[in-house]
Amino acid sequence: MNSLKSQKQSRKLLFLSLLIIFPFLSFSQNADSLHSKISVHGAITATNNGISVIPTFMLGKPATIFDLVVAKNKFSFEPQFRFAIEDVKPWSFIFWFRYKLVQSEKFKMGIGAHPSTVFSSTVGTVNGVTKDLITVRRFWAAELTPTYKISQNVNVGIYYLYSRGLADATKNTNFVALSASLSNIKISNDVTFKIAPQLYYLQMDDKEGYYVTSTFSLAKRNFPISLSSIMNKKIDSTIPSEDFVWNISMTYSF
């Protein structure tokens, strides 16, 4: 698929996302009268190396990520748009629909599903002319996210993601992670640190691998900008990937 067609599809996906978001925003204006709680928030992230939801995969260059969450009661719509900073080409679009299945004091479990589109740049020849082309791969995915609260600042959980690729994409992907989260570690009165280590198994059709990753976050209370870093290390894998992947990111939350 050439870049012109890809750009048209990108615009269609953005338009579809806005069509879904705007009814939530319009309804939220009357939220007080209907006693409904509408939550709208988001974030813009700039990073030196775009790393995917599955940390094994990366863009390999600086990226900008736009996140939006529109939630009502237990339901939420969470689109995410990722672009390369250098040439402003789309990297991936993800449209999460999530539901909080269990919400107790100690145990929580959510479910979710999304369609997604992943873009990649190649160089090809069209009618004898060499051009930059953008190929598109489409996926459907579902997730299960049980977590258990050990203490006020310590959580453990399991994350499971299944992805089904369409056309020439990877057909079956299984991602299973054991994770923990240690938050509100005091650096000073206003600055806190969070670490979220993760051990995971990844299967992609007939290939598989084991990895360890961790996310580090530094935030200041009542300040919209935070810093974070992801580090990912391959333990043993037959999936083509880098042995070690890392990035550093700055996020503005609104």
Residue 50 pLDDT level (bands cut at 50, 70, 90)? very high
User: Average of pLDDT values for 113-118?
Assistant: 95
- Where in the sequence is the domain holding 54, given as residue range(s)? 3-253
* DSSP 8-state symbol, 58: B
| Overall domain count for the chain | 1
Angle subtended at Cα 103 by Cα 97 and Cα 104, rounded to the nearest 5 degrees: 165
- Per the model's pLDDT, the better-predicted residue between 58 and 32 turns out to be 58
| 193, amino acid identity | F
Whether pTM > 0.85 for this model: the answer is no
107-126/90-103 β-pairing:
antiparallel
Q: What is the pLDDT of residue 148?
A: 98
Q: What is the pLDDT of residue 131?
A: 73
Give me the CATH number covering residue 53: 2.40.160.40
> Which residues, 6 or more positions from 127, have their beta carbon under 8 angstroms from its beta carbon?
none
> Beta partners for 155?
149, 181
User: Average of pLDDT values for 52-63?
Assistant: 92
What are the tens digits of pLDDT across the range 87-110? 888 999 999 999 999 999 999 999
What is d(CA 174, CA 161) in angstroms, rounded to the nearest whole number?
6
- Cβ distance 224 to 253 under 8 Å? yes
| 159, amino acid identity | Y
What are the tens digits of pLDDT across the range 207-238? 999 999 999 999 999 999 999 999 999 999 99
3-state secondary structure at position 28:
helix
User: Average of pLDDT values for 243-250?
Assistant: 97
Q: What is the pLDDT of residue 15?
A: 52
Total count of residues recorded for the chain:
254
- Cα 225 vs. chain centroid, distance in angstroms? 19
User: Average of pLDDT values for 238-249?
Assistant: 96
- Checking if the pLDDT of 60 tops 60, the result is yes
| 69, amino acid identity | V
- Per the model's pLDDT, the better-predicted residue between 136 and 12 turns out to be 136
Angle subtended at Cα 67 by Cα 63 and Cα 70, rounded to the nearest 5 degrees: 170
Mean pLDDT, rounded, of the chain: 88
User: Average of pLDDT values for 186-212?
Assistant: 96
Q: Which two tokens stand for residue 117?
A: 């589109």
